[in-house]
């Protein structure tokens, strides 16, 4: 291999937005004098990543594996790298490797070590001692192969204070909307709550330290100002799991943050987006944030029925979910949301309640609706409960579960197959409409002009059509499935269900075409980018 371009560490991970988890590690390594580079991962990128690894000959390659569902794909990448002659030390990090190191090693025979939980300090210490495996057992937070055995060291305490970490390394080219650079931001780590389906709490609780930590408001505002002045960034997407946590300390932090934006003279020049729980939403707070540039709020709604909310341990009500959306709209903001149409407690009754809830959310002028089946992520409370109940299926890397009503097993599979591309594909209807939804929001914020109103109206009409079509399809399908006496009869009814889905498929095709025409007029650059990729319709 070529040695002239050798670097110390190459990191591989998803980068739909900049991967701040990896980029914080890179920043600390840079500060310590190490040379690093990031290779974005996506299906089909194996050849390019191998080419980069062969060229750079890094001492260490770190793989960011958040959830178990991508573990085998990363394992195949590691195998391809080894077959190409790459001899680097392979380490991995992320939620699944941290929570399940033994099964990660079993599934990834080419993996040498795992950096568990927060990665900055452990990765640096590992890199410092790559040539001295005899001291690896002294590195907190490290798991590694030791002959035929696996050694798992005690976890390293979480970083405190977060301001002690250097700001993350940024890419050469930033993502942009309408020519306006975008940067993801992180003001905090962790979450105070314990939703049964979420692995965030387990990830941070696995190491000594508080469940949630924040950077100082001043440090966050200073990073934003630096990005604004040196990179032209005007849009900031906060990746915090719960930006507006409803505690006295966090509300004081938000007040300090808004004041810092004023002091840094960023108010009126930037826009930003946050994620939070529905019980965090306060109309006055949202209004004050809007005055300093807040544009949109992503809500962790997850369920629209009382049983589902209880099983998911959301500590919220159906009424509060809808009120949070209304409060956001009243504050002059837009909202998006996560939603699980199906969960382990689902029945036909709760499915109907969820569809009715989605109708109410759509009536509030919400986003293009997306809905999924809850996944039993490794280490979560609900995954363990399903295992105890004997309802967990599949294997550790591709787990699934059975419903109490066996008819739902087949019906849920039909829903997944019919709506997966629409709801989850990067080239599906929901993602394309979300992009247009956001593009209009950016135009409205930074290019106010008469044509922007017409653009927004046209996109809104298509979102409403898409939402109504999907919900009507679900309602019609439910009416058939509920009459089936057993699981086998639902399988027999699939042809009728597919005939119903064909109507939605035709509407999707119409919306793709109409959206293309709208973007050609109002956002030509975005239109050209979308035309390069074939729409994904199921």
pLDDT for 1: 36
Q: Whose structure tokens read 């507006």?
A: 244
Cα separation, 13 vs 29, whole angstroms: 17
Q: Which candidate, 125, 73, 120, places its Cα nearest to that of 96?
A: 73
Reported as a single tens digit per residue, the pLDDT across 353-391 is 999 999 999 999 989 999 999 999 999 999 999 999 999
pLDDT at residue 4 is higher than 80: no
b (16+ CB within 10 A) / e for 389-411: eeebeeebbebbbbbeeebbbbb
Report how far residue 463's alpha carbon sits from residue 469's, in angstroms, rounded to the nearest whole number: 10
pLDDT at 537: 84
Could you report the per-residue pLDDT of 239-251, keeping only the tens digit for each?
A: 999 999 989 999 9
* Pairwise CA distance, residues 98 & 87, whole Å: 24
103/311 Cα distance (integer angstroms): 27
Contact criterion met (CB below 8 Å) for 194 and 144: no
Domains of the chain by residue range: 9-152, 173-404, 406-538
Which residues are within 8 A (CB) of 241 and not within 5 positions of it... i.e. 6 or more apart? 188, 190, 191, 200, 275
What's the CA gap between 18 and 24, in Å, rounded? 11
> Which whole number is the average pLDDT over 209-219?
97
Query: Mean pLDDT across the stretch 57-82?
Result: 95
Query: How would you classify the pairing of strands 399-401 and 392-394?
Result: antiparallel
Beta bridge partners of 297: 274, 335
**Contact (CB, 8 A) for 335 and 328:** yes
Average pLDDT of 481-491? 93
Does the pLDDT of residue 422 top 60, yes or no?
yes
Burial of 315 (0-12, 13-18, 19+ CB in 10 A): middle
**What does the pLDDT average to over 147-166?**
97
Query: In CATH terms, is domain 173-404 a member of 3.20.20.70?
Result: yes
The Cα–Cα gap between 509 and 77 comes to 35
Task: Give the model's pLDDT for residue 6.
Answer: 81
Predicted local confidence at residue 158, as pLDDT: 97
Average pLDDT over residues 162-169: 98
User: Per-residue pLDDT averaged across 139-163, rounded?
Assistant: 97
Contacts of 145 (CB under 8 A, 6+ apart): 105, 111, 112, 113, 151
pLDDT at 303 over 80: yes
Strand partners, 351: none
**pLDDT > 90? residue 5:** no
> Which homologous superfamily does the CATH classification assign to the domain defined by 9-152?
Response regulator (3.40.50.2300)
For residue 3, what pLDDT is reported?
A: 44
pLDDT in tens, 311-363: 999 999 999 999 999 999 999 999 999 999 999 999 999 999 999 999 999 99
Question: What residues are paired with 214 via a beta bridge?
Answer: 188
| Per-residue 3-state assignment (H helix, E strand, C coil) for 55-120 | HHCCCEEEEECCCHHHHHHHHHHHHHHHHCCCCCEEEEECHHHHHCHHHHHHHCCCCCEEECCCCH
Q: CB–CB of 236/275 below 8 Å?
A: no
Q: Looking at residue 190, what is its pLDDT?
A: 95
- CA distance linking residue 469 with residue 516, whole number of Å: 19
In order, the DSSP letters of 166-235 are PPPP--SS--EETTEEEEEE-SEEE-S---TT-SHHHHHHTSSS-SEEE--HHHHHHHHHHHHHHH---E
Tokens standing for 49? 């990543």
Which residues, listed in sequence order, are joined to residue 176 by a DSSP beta bridge?
181
Q: What pLDDT is stored for residue 7 in this prediction?
A: 94
Whole-angstrom Cα distance, residue 47 to residue 83? 12
Separation between Cα atoms, residue 474 and residue 214, nearest integer Å: 42
pLDDT at 533: 86
Mean model confidence pLDDT for the chain? 95
pLDDT at 2: 39
- State the helix-helix crossing angle for 46-56 and 71-83, rounded to 10 degrees: 50
Q: How far apart are CA 217 and CA 402, in angstroms?
A: 45
**What are φ and ψ of residue 74, in 5° steps?**
-70, -35
Q: Where are the alpha helices (DSSP H) in 299-446?
A: 306-311, 318-330, 348-363, 381-389, 406-424, 429-446
The answer to whether the peptide bond before residue 273 is cis (omega within 30 degrees of 0) is: no
């Amino acid at each position: 291999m070529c040695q002239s371009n050798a670097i110390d560490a190459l990191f591989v991970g998803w980068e739909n937005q900049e991967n701040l988890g990896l980029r914080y590690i890179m920043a600390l390594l840079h500060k310590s004098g190490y040379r690093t580079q990031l290779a974005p991962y996506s299906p089909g990128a194996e050849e390019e990543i191998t080419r980069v690894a062969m060229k750079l000959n890094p001492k260490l390659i770190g793989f960011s594996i958040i959830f178990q569902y991508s573990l085998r794909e990363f394992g195949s990448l590691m195998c391809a790298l080894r077959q190409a002659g790459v001899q680097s030390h392979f380490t991995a990090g992320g939620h699944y490797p941290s929570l399940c190191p033994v099964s990660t090693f079993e599934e990834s025979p080419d993996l040498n070590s795992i950096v568990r939980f927060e990665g900055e300090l452990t990765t640096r210490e590992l890199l410092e001692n790559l040539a001295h495996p005899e001291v690896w057992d002294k590195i907190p937070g490290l798991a590694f192969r030791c002959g035929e055995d696996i050694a798992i060291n005690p976890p390293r305490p979480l970083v405190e204070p977060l301001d002690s970490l250097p700001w993350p390394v940024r890419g050469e080219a930033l993502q942009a909307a309408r020519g306006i650079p975008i940067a993801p931001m992180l003001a905090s780590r962790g979450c105070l709550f314990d939703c049964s389906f979420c692995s965030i709490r387990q990830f941070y609780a696995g190491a000594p330290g508080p469940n949630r930590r924040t950077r100082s408001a001043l440090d966050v505002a200073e990073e934003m100002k630096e990005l604004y002045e040196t990179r032209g960034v005007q849009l900031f997407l906060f990746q915090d799991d719960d930006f507006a946590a409803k505690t006295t300390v966090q509300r004081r932090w938000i007040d300090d943050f808004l004041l810092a934006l004023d002091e840094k003279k960023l108010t009126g020049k930037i826009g930003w987006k946050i994620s939070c729980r529905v019980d965090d939403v306060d109309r006055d707070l949202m209004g004050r944030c809007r005055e300093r540039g807040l544009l949109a709020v992503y809500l962790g709604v997850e369920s629209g029925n009382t049983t589902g909310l209880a099983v998911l341990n959301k500590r919220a009500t159906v009424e509060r979910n809808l009120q949070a959306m209304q409060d956001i709209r009243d504050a002059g903001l837009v909202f998006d949301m996560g939603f699980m149409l199906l969960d382990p407690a689902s029945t036909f009754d709760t499915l109907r309640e969820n569809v009715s809830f989605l109708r109410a959310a759509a009536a509030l002028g919400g986003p293009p609706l997306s809905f999924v089946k809850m996944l039993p992520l490794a280490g979560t409370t609900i995954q363990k409960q399903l295992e105890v109940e004997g309802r967990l299926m599949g294997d550790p890397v591709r787990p699934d579960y059975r419903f109490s009503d066996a008819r739902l097993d087949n019906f849920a599979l039909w829903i997944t197959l019919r709506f997966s591309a629409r709801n989850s594909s990067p080239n599906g209807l929901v993602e394309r409409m979300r992009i247009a939804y956001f593009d209009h929001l950016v135009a409205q914020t930074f290019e106010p002009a008469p044509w922007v109103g017409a653009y927004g109206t046209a996109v809104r009409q298509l979102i409403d059509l898409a939402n109504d079509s999907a919900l009507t399809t679900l309602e019609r399908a439910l009416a058939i499935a509920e009459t089936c006496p057993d699981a086998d009869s639902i399988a027999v009814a699939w042809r009728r269900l597919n005939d119903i889905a064909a109507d939605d498929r035709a509407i999707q095709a119409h919306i793709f075409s109409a959206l293309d025409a709208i973007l050609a007029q109002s956002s030509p650059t975005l239109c050209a980018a979308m035309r390069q990729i074939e729409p994904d319709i199921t």
